[in-house]
Amino acid sequence: MKTGKKLLAEMPENYRNNNITSTSAIGMLMKFGDVESAERIFRSMKTKNIITYGAMVK
């Protein structure tokens, strides 16, 4: 979990704005129970798709 959060913190802005990367991050955070951080990323996303919503439900 620490490694994943460190990667997110150091990730360049253009990767953070990528739906695939953001959805993967949401999935990782939800898997480890960090709902607040996952929700923060979800809310910051400009466009969401069915896969993004699915990652939030897990």
Q: Using one digit for the tens of pLDDT, what is the confidence trace for 1-54?
A: 778 888 888 888 777 789 999 999 999 999 999 999 999 999 999 999 999 999
Cβ contacts of 16 within 8 Å, gap of 6 or more = 8, 22
pTM of the model: 0.85
Q: For the chain, which residues make up each domain, given as ranges? A: 2-57
Q: Do 56 and 42 touch, CB atoms closer than 8 A?
A: yes
For 12, other C-beta atoms within 10 Å of its C-beta total 7
Taking the C-alpha atoms of residue 29 and residue 21, their distance in angstroms, rounded to an integer, is 12
44 exposed, middle or buried (CB, 10 Å; 0-12, 13-18, 19+)? exposed
